Amino acid sequence: LNTINTNSYPVLIGKKCWGEMSRFIEQKFSGSKIIVVADSNTLLHCYPLLEDNCTVFLSAEVIEIPEGEENKNIDIAIGIWETLLQLEADRSSLIVNLGGGVVSDIGSFAASTYKRGIKFINIPTTLLAQVDASVGGKTGIDLNGIKNQIGTFCNPDAVFINPEFLNTLPAPQLLSGFAEVIKHALITDKNYWKYIISENPTEITDWEKLISQSVIIKNKIVTEDPYESGIRKLLNFGHTIGHAVESYSLETDNPLLHGEAIAIGMICESYISSKLCGLKEPELLEISNYISGLFEPYWLDETIYHKLLQLMMHDKKNENGKIYFSLIESIGSGIYGVSCNTDIITESLDFYKSITVTE
Ligand SMILES: NC(=O)c1ccc[n+]([C@@H]2O[C@H](COP(=O)([O-])OP(=O)(O)OC[C@H]3O[C@@H](n4cnc5c(N)ncnc54)[C@H](O)[C@@H]3O)[C@@H](O)[C@H]2O)c1
């Protein structure tokens, strides 16, 4: 069992975290009402594990929300608040968010606002939520289909990460979360990169080691810059182009998962790094060959380039109409705040095509 202490709460990682979780809840919340927020899938696949391993959950209430990003919205949040009222939850109650990033974002948002904020803990069940959403204190919902427009910064009391949950996670979801792991290595840690490229994500058995390393990296960055005024921007590597491709794909019959789009973004932005930040050609090829070997190729037709560029114009890092990127100078060394012209962005999309399309 691995414990990583953030500024305000512990993250416990390991197959043996059940015992610690029971003790934690019994010590801090004995006599409190415990309310689990789960989605339809995590209720089916993950909740039984909790009931089997932690007796405190035998008397818990459960709020089930429908699965999927389209449900991370204000109507579902209102549903959670109303159910909390019906269950007579008060400020001594504990919310337990059991699920991927959708459940932890909306459950934490509901908890952080209900009666001006009640305590919550997170039990992330997807790789993405374990390595990414588990630290940083961001909660939120989408508004009119635009992601994360409403939310709070609010920390849980604790996070318990059990890699066993990954056993039931569909393979594409696992790989999607792995994109963020790759990003953590590329922006901060060459040794970690060497370790991950020696592993096949579908055959990894020691998830504890990998999740711990990613949580350590993310925690270090968000502790230094909680509100994203500087170094936290590094976490956006791959995301300027990745988000544009993701948004575009969601309007088509072939929608991409978040990490699948970020994988494309990381290849393109590594190319831009080689043009603007001195990333050496062999490292560019090492990165792009590794990532393109893991993810299915995605067809980027030249006729959609202008749409992608338009979408990039809405990126949150932009200033004065310029597109700013978080890039890498070498593997393990990120840099943020690099502006890039549209010609190089276009070339980077061509580069992605050149390495993924086999004639
Ligand atoms: N707050 C943050 O810092 C932060 C960071 C990254 C992402 N996010 C948010 O996270 C969301 C994406 O998270 P996600 O990728 O975890 O998506 P998700 O929560 O939608 O989970 C993906 C799918 O897997 C299912 N699932 C979850 N755990 C399972 C398990 N163990 N076994 C079987 N099925 C399981 C879910 O029901 C869902 O269908 C986005 O809304 C994103 O904005 C937040």
Strands 333-339 and 324-330: antiparallel
Q: What's the rounded mean pLDDT across residues 51-58?
A: 93
- Given this model, what pLDDT does residue 92 score? 95
pLDDT band at 87 (very low <50, low <70, confident <90, very high): very high
Which ligand 1 atom lies nearest to the CA of residue 67?
37
How many whole angstroms from 161 Cα to the centroid of ligand 1? 14
- Given this model, what pLDDT does residue 23 score? 94
SS (H, E, C) the chain: CEEEECCCCEEEECCCHHHHHHHHHHHHHCCCCEEEEEEHHHHHHCHHHHHHHCHHHHHCEEEEECCCHHHCCHHHHHHHHHHHHHCCCCCCCEEEEEECHHHHHHHHHHHHHHHHCCEEEEEECCHHHHHHHCCCCECCEEECCEEEEECCECCCCEEEECHHHHHHCCHHHHHHHHHHHHHHHHHHCHHHHHHHHCCCHHHCCCHHHHHHHHHHHHHHHHHHCCCCCCHHHHHHCCHHHHHHHHHHHHCCCCCCCHHHHHHHHHHHHHHHHHHHCCCCHHHHHHHHHHHHHHCCCCCCCHHHHHHHHHHHCCCCCCECCECEEEEEEECCEEEEEEECCHHHHHHHHHHHHHHHCCC
What are 133-152's pLDDT values in tens digits? 999 999 999 998 888 889 99
How many whole angstroms from 102 Cα to the centroid of ligand 1? 5
Q: What's the rounded mean pLDDT across residues 88-100?
A: 97
Q: Are 259 and 177 in contact (CB under 8 A)?
A: yes
Q: What's the rounded mean pLDDT across residues 13-28?
A: 94
What are 247-259's pLDDT values in tens digits? 999 989 999 999 9
Q: With pLDDT > 70 as the criterion, what percentage of the chain qualifies? A: 99
**Quick check: 316 pLDDT over 80?**
no
In the numeric block, which tokens belong to residue 17?
């975290």
- Given this model, what pLDDT does residue 343 score? 95
Q: What is the pTM of this model?
A: 0.96
Q: What's the rounded mean pLDDT across residues 282-295?
A: 97
What b/e sequence results for 222-238 when a residue is b if at least 16 CB atoms lie within 10 Å of its CB, and e otherwise? Answer: beeeeebeebbbbbbbb
pLDDT band at 313 (very low <50, low <70, confident <90, very high): confident
- Residues pairing with 34 in the sheet: 94
How many whole angstroms from 278 Cα to the centroid of ligand 1? 35
**Quick check: 354 pLDDT over 90?**
yes
- Given this model, what pLDDT does residue 317 score? 73
- Given this model, what pLDDT does residue 321 score? 78
**Quick check: 359 pLDDT over 60?**
no
**Quick check: 358 pLDDT over 70?**
no
Q: Residues with Cβ within 6 A of ligand 1?
A: 39, 41-42, 45-46, 67-69, 72, 99-103, 105, 125-126, 128-129, 132-133, 136, 138, 147-148, 165, 168-169, 173, 258
pLDDT band at 13 (very low <50, low <70, confident <90, very high): very high
pLDDT band at 322 (very low <50, low <70, confident <90, very high): confident
What are 166-215's pLDDT values in tens digits? 999 999 999 999 999 999 999 999 999 999 999 888 889 889 999 999 99
